[in-house]
Amino acid sequence: MQSNIVVRCNQLQRVFSSETKEHRVLSNINFEMKAGEFVVLIGPSGCGKSTLLNLIAGFDKPTGGTVHLSNRPVEGPGPDKAMVFQDYALLPWLTARANVEIGLRMQKVPAAERRATADRFLELVGLSGAATRPVYQLSGGMQQRVSIARALALNPTVLLMDEPFGALDAFQRAIMHRELTRIWRTTQASIIFVTHSLDEAIFLGDRVVAMTPGASGFTGQIDIDLPRPRDPLSNDFGVLKRQLFDLLTAHLPDRAEIFVE
């Protein structure tokens, strides 16, 4: 097994069962991710993006197949698989610094080291001046930066991001795209990012993997070989957007009539 592969899914399946029927969400998923890579999973609601992310995170267990992180089987959640959610998942009455320290406190990191680590990552995400402010006073974009700082403070093997900017307005979302690109390049983190936005996927990813509903799994992938920061209005960006659109809609009979963000 290659040493630079940090995530490997082999013949991964997830079936949700009830008394009357089975619902197959993922079937025979094979996926690998290299260290330092920024991979985007894209597809419409219900295609299994978040399910796959939860299996990699250890929040859920596969019905069949395996998930390995750094050559070790994933058997449950842990700090090596940090998650950033759309709803921030912060404690609003605590300060930004205290929220970043939560995971470190659970790991019993000494107080002085916790504070130094939290302050370092708050500086990385541009929030040094907000360290002592309760997060309920911060904007949505600032709260999501706190969430990212909290995740990175754990020094995870992989950073998992489940539509983290979905609740932001278009302007804040564009800012966060540029900020996340800067943070990723600074930290050289390994990131798996879930979205349903073509523009977001192409702007952020080294590689974009397309998924469709019906447990059909991956329909293809596109390597994004554009210089950063990327220009969503460029011709090259538009060509990749069309290619990605075609991957996502190849199974539909009237795809020319469909608009995807």
Note the pLDDT of residue 1: 41
Could you tell me the pLDDT band of residue 257, with boundaries at 50, 70 and 90?
very low
Note the pLDDT of residue 254: 60
* Residue 227 in this model has a pLDDT that exceeds 50: yes
| Architecture per CATH, 1-80+184-261 | 3-Layer(aba) Sandwich (3.40)
Cβ atoms of residues 229 and 178 within 8 Å: yes
The structure's pTM equals 0.92
Give the C-alpha distances (Å, rounded to integers) separating 180 from 15, 62, 196, 205, 221: 33, 30, 17, 11, 22
Mean pLDDT computed over 161-184: 93
Could you tell me the pLDDT band of residue 144, with boundaries at 50, 70 and 90?
very high
Mean pLDDT computed over 109-126: 96
Could you tell me the pLDDT band of residue 214, with boundaries at 50, 70 and 90?
low
Mean pLDDT computed over 224-251: 92
Note the pLDDT of residue 31: 93
* Residue 7 in this model has a pLDDT that exceeds 50: yes
Note the pLDDT of residue 47: 85
SS3 34: strand
